[in-house]
Structures are given as structure tokens and as C-alpha cells.
């Protein structure tokens, strides 16, 4: 059976980059998109015999998304799986609105424009697989980074809606919600609690997609933190966090 064609948005660093490297090393036709194209071109050059595409995309420029994706898919010759890894998260204890706005633009507006386009593409194709890196952070609000946690809650809820839509349409469109805890990427420098490498995360994301999982915790033991976040009474959560 031919390898599925994979499109990774946010493939210039972190988990998206590690996943792109894994897909290319396995010979999967892979398209890589992000704002900084140099790392993706370098990676593609290491796998010259694997079909690939590299494109510049800023998901905050939502009007450009359809054209950039159409051109990329023409180059890749189709799309079976789209993995949305693009995201932005920083702590913002001062509630600086400009910082909150950056996370809203990327994690809410950009995310929505990408997944809506992908879902409609899969609807027309009659099948497909959409995977998004959300976060354990999406399970409950947090004072350190309100917009980040809220934007991840939005993504989790939006993916539930798309899964429902696919089910009602009777189409084999799979939706995978990938919820990491801490991964050792740029935004998480210095954090050391149950942290895993981007390579470990990429291997687990790859496996979750192959298994058509609905939700995958990265690493799996973060499901226990997720459970605690969901069931802890407010007084306890507010005291501990
Ligand atoms: N690291 C963690 O511990 C952790 C935990 C839970 C969830 N997450 C989530 O995992 C996802 C990936 O993050 P990461 O940890 O791998 O960090 P990362 O190294 O910063 O990767 C983020 C990727 O998103 C791309 N990106 C950011 N803004 C973009 C935009 N406006 N348009 C297009 N691409 C954009 C970046 O590329 P360019 O800058 O080149 O555009 C980069 O390729 C994020 O959604 C993050 O919230 C991370």
C-alpha cells in the first residue's frame, strides 16, 4: 500500500520538525509549512528521494491559507493526513493584551482557518485524517497564561465538534487530539517536570495517528495529570496551582 501523504503545519521547529523528520525518514511524502522555511529546506535536502514540499505560511494571515495549501497540495500530489503543530504560548502574568492577542491570533483564528480548510478538503475527498497538537493545558484555566490555556480549551472543543460533524456525515474522517504535557522544545526551556524530548513526542504522535486515536496524551502518564485537573475541586486547584 502506498504511504499516506502528510502535511505538517508548524514543521520548522519543535514537535512538528521532529515529526517531519520521522515521516521523511520512513519515506512518507511530506509537506512542511511554517514562517521560517530554512530548517525545513535543510531537512528536505537530507531526504532528496522522498517526495516533499516546503512552503512559507503564517497562519495568522488567514486569507492566504487556502492558496498556500492548494499550491502545496498540488506539489505533494494530494493530502491524506494534516497535522497542525503551529502554536504560540507564553506566560503573561501582567495580562498584557498584546501578548494575549498573539495567542488568540495563532491558536484560535489561525487554527480555525486551517482546520476548517482541511475538514472541507477531506469532506470533498470523502476521507482523511486531521491531527492537532492541543495541550493538557486546555483542560482547566490557569492564572499564569490565561489566553494560552483558554485557546487550548477552544481547540479541544472545536475538534470534538469536527469529530461529531464527520460522524453525522458518515465519512471516514478521523480527528486526533494530541495533548502533550511538557516537551523539551523552545517555549518550554528550563521546565523539568515529566518532560520528554521532541523526538519521543514525535514517535508517540506518529503512533497515535497510525492507530486513529481520538485523544493521545504525550507522554501517556500525563493522562493522570489530566484526570486530576478535571476532577480537582476549585478550592484545591486554586490553592495548588
Ligand atoms: N512544548 C510543550 O511542552 C508543549 C506542551 C503542550 C502543547 N504544546 C503545543 O505544541 C505545539 C507545537 O509547539 P512546540 O512545543 O513544538 O514549539 P515550537 O518549537 O515553538 O514550534 C511551534 C511551531 O509552530 C510554528 N508557528 C508558530 N506560529 C506560527 C504562525 N503564525 N504561522 C505558522 N506557523 C507558526 C513555528 O514555526 P515558525 O516560527 O517558523 O512559523 C514552529 O514550527 C504548540 O501548539 C504548543 O502550544 C507544546
Residues 175 and 178: their CA atoms lie apart, in Å, by 10
- The residue to mutate among 57, 159, 185, having the most atoms of ligand 1 within 8 angstroms of its beta carbon, is 185
62 CB-near residues (< 8 Å, 6+ apart): 109, 110, 113
Q: Are the C-beta atoms of 186 and 13 separated by less than 8 Å?
A: yes
CA-closest candidate to residue 208, choices 220, 199, 216, 200: 216
Q: What angle do CA 128, 134, 140 make, to 5 degrees?
A: 140
- What average pLDDT is seen over the chain? 96
Each residue's pLDDT tens digit, 79-137: 999 999 999 999 999 999 999 999 999 999 999 999 999 999 999 999 999 999 999 99
Atom of ligand 1 nearest to the CA of 89: 47
Q: Which atom of ligand 1 is nearest to the CA of 191?
A: 3
Q: 6-240 belongs to which CATH class?
A: alpha beta
- List the grid coordinates of 203: 514517535
Percent of the chain with pLDDT over 70: 98
Q: Is the pLDDT of residue 186 over 80?
A: no
236 alpha carbon – ligand 1 mean position (Å) = 31
Provide the residue ranges of all domains of the chain, joining segments of one domain with +: 6-240
pLDDT tens figures, 23-72: 999 999 999 999 999 999 999 999 999 999 999 999 999 999 999 999 99
Kindly state the DSSP code that residue 35 receives in the 8-state scheme: S
C-alpha cell at 28: 512518507
Which ligand 1 atom is the nearest neighbour of the CA of 9?
34
Q: Is the pLDDT of residue 214 over 80?
A: yes
pLDDT of amino acid 75: 98
For residues 64 and 71, the answer to whether their CB atoms sit within 8 Å is no
Contacts of 224 (CB under 8 A, 6+ apart): none
| 192 — pLDDT class (breaks 50, 70, 90) | confident
Q: How far is the CA of 106 from the centre of ligand 1 (A)?
A: 10
Question: Where does ligand 1 bind, in terms of residues with CB under 6 Å?
Answer: 10-16, 34-36, 57-60, 85-89, 106, 110, 133, 135, 180, 182-183, 185-188
Is residue 89 a contact partner of residue 133, using CB atoms and an 8 Å limit?
A: no
Strand segments, DSSP code E, in 51-143 are: 52-56, 81-84, 128-133
User: Which H or E element spans position 9?
Assistant: strand 6-9
> What is the greatest pairwise CA distance in the chain?
57
Amino acid at each position: 500500500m502506498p504511504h499516506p501523504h502528510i502535511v505538517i503545519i508548524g514543521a520548522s521547529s519543535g514537535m512538528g520538525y521532529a515529526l517531519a523528520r520521522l515521516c521523511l525518514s520512513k519515506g512518507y511524502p511530506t509537506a512542511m509549512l511554517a514562517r521560517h522555511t530554512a530548517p525545513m529546506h535543510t531537512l528536505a535536502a537530507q531526504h532528496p528521494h522522498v517526495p516533499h514540499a516546503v512552503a512559507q505560511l503564517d497562519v495568522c494571515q488567514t486569507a492566504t491559507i487556502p492558496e498556500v495549501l492548494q499550491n502545496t497540495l498540488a506539489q505533494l500530489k494530494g493530502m491524506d493526513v494534516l497535522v497542525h503543530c503551529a502554536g504560540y504560548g507564553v506566560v503573561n502574568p501582567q495580562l498584557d493584551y498584546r501578548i494575549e492577542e498573539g495567542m488568540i491570533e495563532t491558536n484560535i483564528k489561525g487554527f480555525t482557518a486551517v482546520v476548517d480548510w482541511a475538514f472541507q478538503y477531506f469532506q470533498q475527498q470523502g476521507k482523511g485524517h486531521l491531527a492537532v497538537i492541543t495541550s493538557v493545558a486546555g483542560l482547566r484555566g490557569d492564572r499564569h497564561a490565561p489566553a494560552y490555556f483558554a485557546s487550548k480549551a477552544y481547540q479541544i472543543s472545536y475538534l470534538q465538534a469536527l469529530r461529531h460533524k464527520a460522524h453525522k456525515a458518515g465519512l471516514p474522517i478521523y480527528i486526533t487530539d494530541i495533548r502533550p504535557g511538557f516537551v523539551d522544545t523552545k517555549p518550554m526551556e528550563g521546565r523539568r517536570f515529566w518532560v520528554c524530548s521532541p523526538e519521543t513526542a514525535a514517535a508517540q504522535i506518529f503512533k497515535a495517528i497510525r492507530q486513529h486515536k481520538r485523544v493521545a496524551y504525550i507522554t501517556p502518564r500525563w493522562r493522570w495529570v489530566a484526570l486530576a485537573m478535571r476532577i480537582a475541586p476549585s478550592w484545591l486547584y486554586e490553592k495548588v496551582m
